[in-house]
Amino acid sequence: MNEQRVAIVTGGSRGIGRAIATKLAAQGTAVVVGYAGGADAAAEVVDEITAAGGRAIAAQADVADEKAVAAMFDAAQETFGGVDVVVNSAGRMALSTIADLDLADLDRMHRTNIRGTFVVARESARRLRNGGAVVTVSTSVVGLQFPTYGGYAASKGAVEALTLILARELRGRDITVNTVAPGPTATDLFLDGKTDAQIDQLAKQPPLERLGTPDDIAGVVAFLTGPDGHWVNGQTVRANGGII
């Protein structure tokens, strides 16, 4: 076993990604906090982890840019000695009916959510140490199929399609590949543009009668990437409080 496991968390500067990065660090994993543009926010996450006694660095990368993603893996290798866990939490969402969706918004979502996931998965397949874990992030809307989420859900459906295929392709290396599909979760991305009434309605839908929190999702990811969750492989886990 490696002395210390090393994780790359894309989208690690805010929301669910930030909660995942700090959760993994609290469990003793060295973390590369990947970010697209929020350098200050990423630095705050690194400071939070190191202040608590953990090890972390920040690395800027557009997940759809294969050279930038390779450089992020290089930074993990050079600083911490390798990579054991990759969590691709970077994502983009634009809501609109299918009839009215601007195709430029569709292209931007698909570039980040599909191409970005594929690029990170490809680099993970090439670089992850044996015994590691890959977690991609989808959305429970793939199953819930809310109006105005057509373009977004389509991009995340592609993420789920990769999961079992990549798990099978990594046969023989003791690496797991899973997708976590959060339901409505109280992040800035989710809350932006919604009225209090809309938020309250969504919070009442799960039998647990609340919105998810970033920590709820981080706990699932920590399980899937840790020893207790290593027998779970090739799965999409709908972490949504029972909304479907």
- The CATH architecture to which 6-185+214-234 belongs is 3-Layer(aba) Sandwich (3.40)
Maximum alpha-carbon separation in the chain: 53
Residue 24 amino acid letter = L
User: Which phi and psi (to 5°) does residue 6 adopt?
Assistant: -125, 130
Q: What is the model's pLDDT at position 244?
A: 67
Instruction: Give the whole-angstrom CA distance, residue 37 versus residue 176.
Output: 29
Q: What is the model's pLDDT at position 2?
A: 47
- Cβ distance 36 to 116 under 8 Å? no
- Cβ distance 217 to 182 under 8 Å? yes
Give residue-wise pLDDT tens across range 145-180.
999 999 999 999 999 999 999 999 999 999 999 999
Ranges of the chain with pLDDT below 50: 1-2
Any residues with CB less than 8 A from the CB of 84 and at least 6 apart, and which?
2, 5, 6, 7, 29, 128, 129, 131, 132, 133
pLDDT > 90 fraction of the chain, expressed in percent and rounded: 90
Domain chopping of the chain, boundaries: 6-185+214-234
| Tokens read off for 118 | 């594929």
Tokens 């046969």 belong to which residue? 171
Cα–Cα–Cα angle for 171, 177, 182, nearest 5°?
165
What are the C-alpha distances in Å from 24 to residues 12, 21, 91, 108, 149? 11, 5, 20, 29, 30
- Cβ distance 243 to 206 under 8 Å? yes
Instruction: Give the whole-angstrom CA distance, residue 133 versus residue 225.
Output: 5
- Cβ distance 168 to 234 under 8 Å? yes
Which strands form 30-35's sheet, in the order they lie side by side? 56-60, 30-35, 6-10, 85-88, 133-137, 176-180, 236-237
152 is catalytic: yes
Q: What is the model's pLDDT at position 144?
A: 92
Q: What is the model's pLDDT at position 169?
A: 98
Task: List the catalytic residue out of 80, 118, 149, 152.
Answer: 152
